[in-house]
Structure 1
Amino acid sequence: MHQTIDSTGSAPHLRGSPRSGLRRVIRLIAILTSIALVGGGAWYLLLFLVTRTDSGSAAIDKSVRVVEVTIDSGDVRIDVAGQGEKTELHKKLTKSLRSPDEKIEHDGDTLRITTTCGDGMGECGSDYSLTVQAGTRIKVNTRLGDVSVTGVRASVEGRTRIGSVRVEHVIGDRIVAASETGAVTLKDVDFDTAEATSKMGAIQVDEIEPFKKLKAVSKMGDVELHLPSSAGPFAVDAQTELGDRTVEVAVDSSSGTSVEARTKIGDVTVRND
């Protein structure tokens, strides 16, 4: 094949059209995207096929006066058994490529529930719902999930890393409700000392009886306390670095009833019911 020489004496450059190069790039991107979508779809289908949930229940012995629940992932709800109702444990275990490792122990007057998931891929969780006798002391700790305790007449400690903590209709010497990321609520509670804390979440305390010490601290979230109008004055330490501060209760720094309400980012409100 002969090339035609132009007037300058040089042969013309042979090169492809810019549009053809762009089309090749687009086709390559489309192919890679399709592979990713197919692979991702197959992975989620696999997880769907191997994931299952098992439910179960068991009676709680009447001798139990302390319940301790420590789990990796799942919600925990504890209520008081009504008249004529049985004290029971209900559970829902979710497993896929990982399975919850559950241990339930009855030691004297203490019921211990411990569930771990370990490292790996896929769903793994354990939700528990318990009905207990009114005088049962409660201690709950979950890394991922909500904690709810209602109606007991004993001390309560509820903690979670990611989730909310709610303690309601409880009478106990000491109440601890703590979340690293989530709201914390104490409502209609009677205590000597209470601690409600969150690193990132609102704190609300409402409908409470006269007490000795109340601590409500958040790093990022509003703190709202409604103190009993029948009590006071209070030794109040109310602070916020970025937000509004409102204190509408009788204050006396020498009072034996102390209130600590603090947040770094958010509003702080302390007022009577």
Structure 2
Amino acid sequence: MSYAPGPSRQPTLPGAGAGTGADGENPRVRTGGGVIVGRGRGFVPSGGDEGGRGRRLMRRVRRAGRVRVVRQVAAAVTGAGLLAGLAGCADASDAKAEHRAWAFAGKRLTVDVDDARLGVVAADVERIEVTRRIAGHVVLGKGPKASWGLDGDRLRLRASCSGFLADCDARYEVKVPRTVTLRVRGGDGGVSVSGFRTAVEARVADGSPRVRDVSGPLDLRASDGSVDARGIGSRTVRLRSADGPVTIRPAD
């Protein structure tokens, strides 16, 4: 196949520089031994039928390039949508419930929880009873991983997922004998306490403590969240929030 200037315009050969080869000629892309594209303007395939075949080949190359780009974009969009769907927010509200109980003879219980929602209730029980529900979505990572245990007077509750696309939701419901005083140490998650006639103390780093129907001494602190205490009959009350509103309503 030979090349010659097209009939409609005269070719202009740029000198050596940006977009040209070292010898001053236009760089060319070769496919199958034939020259397909040249950067110099005014060049079209010559030679009758060979020129027609050259134009058709050029169209096929351009069309194939567009198809490849479209396929790559579609694959990227589909993959992103799939990962976003798989890594959606987990919800443990309907997850399978697990139960465990520990004998407890102490006077004060500390509940240490992180990355989970916690509810503690004073109840007519003789042991520490815990129900947990855990759900997780993990695409690139590990989990959900959970642990619970009583060590002396400290009940430790943990749940987590790790990885690039991972999300876990854990909920713990704890029943405590009515004679036990309560301390809560919370990391990331909401904390609710209800029904205590004994002292209640809660420290929450990244969450909002909620207290209902408490008549013993009450001390609540939140580093990043609101504090809400209602139905309170306590004579001693301390409520503090570093970044959020504080609400208290006395018992009727």
TM-score by length of 2: 0.60
- Answer yes or no: is 1:93 the counterpart of 2:134: yes
> Shift of residue 116 of structure 1?
5.3
> Shift of residue 194 of structure 1?
0.8
Give, in whole Å, the separation in 2 of the partners of 1:102 and 1:136: 23
**Aligned counterpart, 2:27:** none
> Shift of residue 15 of structure 1?
8.7
2:221 to 158, 173, 177: 177
Letter in 1 for 2:228: T
1:65 to 101, 107, 113: 107
> What whole-Å deviation, never above 9, does each CA across 1:148-176 have from its counterpart, x for those lacking one?
00011222222334432111211223412
Q: 1:92 to 1:15 in 2, by over 3 A?
A: farther
> What whole-Å deviation, never above 9, does each CA across 1:76-95 have from its counterpart, x for those lacking one?
0011215x898621112335
> Shift of residue 131 of structure 1?
1.6
Give, in whole Å, the separation in 1 of the partners of 2:186 and 2:130: 17
> What whole-Å deviation, never above 9, does each CA across 1:64-106 have from its counterpart, x for those lacking one?
4323222321110011215x89862111233552233414124
Give, in whole Å, the separation in 2 of the partners of 1:158 and 1:28: 59
**Which structure's CA Rg is the greater one?**
2
Give, in whole Å, the separation in 2 of the partners of 1:74 and 1:46: 21
Q: Secondary structure at the match of 1:153?
A: coil
Alignment of 1:46-61 (within 5 A): 55-61=97-103
Structure 2: tracts of 5 or more residues without a match:
13-40, 45-58
Letter in 2 for 1:90: T
Give, in whole Å, the separation in 2 of the partners of 1:25 and 1:141: 60
Give, in whole Å, the separation in 2 of the partners of 1:116 and 1:76: 12
**Aligned counterpart, 1:3:** 5
Give, in whole Å, the separation in 1 of the partners of 2:226 and 2:66: 48
Contact 1:65 1:133 in 2 (8 A): no
Which structure has more RCO (C-alpha within 8 Å, separation ≥ 6)?
2
Letter in 1 for 2:75: I
**Aligned counterpart, 1:39:** 79
> Shift of residue 144 of structure 1?
2.3
- Answer yes or no: is 1:147 the counterpart of 2:188: no
> Shift of residue 129 of structure 1?
0.4
TM-score by length of 1: 0.56
Q: Provide the aligned length of Structure 1 versus Structure 2.
A: 196
**Aligned counterpart, 2:241:** 197
Contact 1:133 1:152 in 2 (8 A): no
Give, in whole Å, the separation in 2 of the partners of 1:5 and 1:14: 8
1:134 to 165, 175, 178: 178
Contact 2:116 2:158 in 1 (8 A): no
**Aligned counterpart, 1:102:** 147
> Shift of residue 111 of structure 1?
4.3
Give, in whole Å, the separation in 2 of the partners of 1:37 and 1:203: 45
Letter in 2 for 1:167: V
Question: Alpha carbon RMSD of aligned pairs, Å?
Answer: 4.0
Contact 1:72 1:125 in 2 (8 A): no
Letter in 1 for 2:204: T
Q: 1:67 to 1:32 in 2, by over 3 A?
A: farther
Letter in 2 for 1:169: D
> What whole-Å deviation, never above 9, does each CA across 1:4-53 have from its counterpart, x for those lacking one?
566xx83383499xxx9xx99986774444222332355457668xx995
> What whole-Å deviation, never above 9, does each CA across 1:128-157 have from its counterpart, x for those lacking one?
101212232222233321100001122222
Letter in 2 for 1:152: F
Give, in whole Å, the separation in 2 of the partners of 1:93 and 1:150: 22
